[in-house]
Amino acid sequence: MGPSRLNLAPSPIQMPPPQSPRFLSGSTSPLPLWSPPGLYEKAKSPSYLSLSELAAFSTKSRLSKILRPKTLVVMFLITLCTVAFIFLNPGSAGLVQLPIDIPSKEVQSQKPGEVLNPGPFSDKKHLVVVAGHAIWKGGPMLGEVDEEWTLEPYQKGHNESLTWIEHIEKGVEIMSADPESLLVFSGGETRASSGPRTESQSYWNLADTRNLLTPDTYPLATTEIFARDSFENLLFSICRFREYTGIYPKSVTVIGYEFKRHRFSQVHRPAILFPEDRFTYVGIDHKNQTLVDEMAKFEKSHSLVPFEKDPYACFEEVLVEKKKSRGWAGRGTGGYERSCPELQALLRYCGLQKDGTVKLYDGPLPWTH
């Protein structure tokens, strides 16, 4: 016999039938069960896959993972949380936030004599207000020199701060003499040059630094940090009293300049319908009578007369501009519409009628029951 010949022809390879799950050559990722016909055979040798087929396979593989039940549950929870966040924080999505009435103990209306937040201060009945006039920055002279204050130009050079210290001292004195009283220093972030410092907190700090307050009386003197004018000094302090004690005050005492007595007693008080026999004003003026006379003239033209025309400071230009400049930080009413829901209508009230006259608020209030 002649020498045998080698058979160099390739032998046919018998491929096993497709099994489930099916895998790409060299991969542990299964092909989706709904793979198009012939894709498995081509996937055995990736060189046979066209770019379009490879892209289709990749997309469908990712989609198969996304459509898994656990993944769908996670995606649903993420979507739900996102919708809830936007609903509760509409400003974050550029939406306009509308007032929403959510019934809760904190926002329910107060009935006569009812204490909504019983606590250590629910026995207080007398509100004592010290209205702020400037911001004390601190210093070794304890507020007795202009350099330690952020002042308006018209306040400089007269040592007005000595009178403000007397206001603080009188407020602490009245609070200390009446166990049913709560002292509220009122005044917001009225000076942009002082940043987030408030008149009220600076007054509290000054009272503490001058040893007028002690750890025992700290809880009896609080701050109202949003007021931008004298009307808000009164109304917002009443709201602060309600936040602090759970009730509205039965009586109110305001401490300020004597020449502002008429503004508080005969303009602001009637505007909020507070009973005259339960309202007291304590006036303390500067010792320089010539200065007081000048301040009284300024008071009449820039505050008293405008407030008589516009008790709620919503359209008289001098009052609106003053409130705008003092409200530079954008605090507004500070959330009192929610913490004092009984006063919501009053806090929003303007009173200007179509004929140009002003109608005082006549709705129900806690102290008019």
Residues 328-366 pLDDT 10s: 888 888 889 999 999 999 999 999 999 999 999 999 999
Residue 84, pLDDT above cutoff 60: yes
Distance of CA 308 to the CA centre of its chain: 30
Q: What percent of the chain has pLDDT over 90?
A: 64
Question: What pLDDT sits at residue 23?
Answer: 46
Residue 263 CA: distances (Å) to CA of 87, 137, 206, 235, 307: 43, 28, 26, 14, 8
pLDDT at 359: 97
The rounded percent of the chain whose pLDDT value lies above 70 is 70
Pairing of strands 22-23, 30-31: antiparallel
- For residues 71 and 210, the model is more confident at 210
Residue 21 has pLDDT above 70, yes or no: no
Pair of tokens at residue 257 = 């300049």
Average the pLDDT over each of 20-24, 160-164, 355-359 and give the range with the smallest value: 20-24
- 22: enclosing H helix or E strand: strand 22-23
| Assigned token pair, 352 | 């200007």
- Bigger pLDDT: 81 vs 47: 81
CB 36 within 8 A of CB 42: no
User: Are the C-beta atoms of 307 and 267 separated by less than 8 Å?
Assistant: yes
First to last CA, the chain: 130
pTM of the predicted structure, to 2 decimals: 0.70
Tokens linked to 286: 């500067």
pLDDT: is 48 or 337 the higher one?
Answer: 337
Residue with tokens 């009164």: 234
Local confidence band at 270 (pLDDT 50, 70, 90 cut-offs): very high
Residue 114: per-residue pLDDT: 62
Q: Across residues 171-179, what is the average pLDDT?
A: 98
Please report the pLDDT score of residue 328 as a whole number. 84
Res 115 pLDDT > 70 = no
Q: Residue 59: what pLDDT?
A: 53
For residue 217, how many other CB atoms are within 10 A of its CB? Answer: 15
- Inform me whether the pLDDT recorded for 306 exceeds 70: yes
* Cis amide prior to 366 (ω within 30 degrees): no
Q: Which pLDDT belongs to residue 37?
A: 54
Mean pLDDT along residues 37-47: 50
Q: How confident is the model at residue 76 (pLDDT cuts 50, 70, 90)?
A: confident
- Least confident piece of the model among 97-106, 246-255, 316-325: 97-106
User: What pLDDT is stored for residue 107 in this prediction?
Assistant: 46
pLDDT (0 to 100) of residue 334 = 82
For the ranges 38-47, 137-146, 191-200, the lowest mean pLDDT is seen at 38-47
| Range in 108-122, 140-154, 294-308 the model is least confident about | 108-122
Chain mean position to CA 33: 56
Is residue 40's pLDDT more than 60? no
Q: Are 202 and 186 in contact (CB under 8 A)?
A: no
Element (DSSP H or E) covering residue 222 = strand 221-224
pLDDT of residue 11: 53
Question: Residue 117: its pLDDT value, please?
Answer: 65
Grade residue 369 by pLDDT with cuts at 50, 70 and 90. confident
Phi, psi angles (nearest 5°) of residue 130: -110, 110
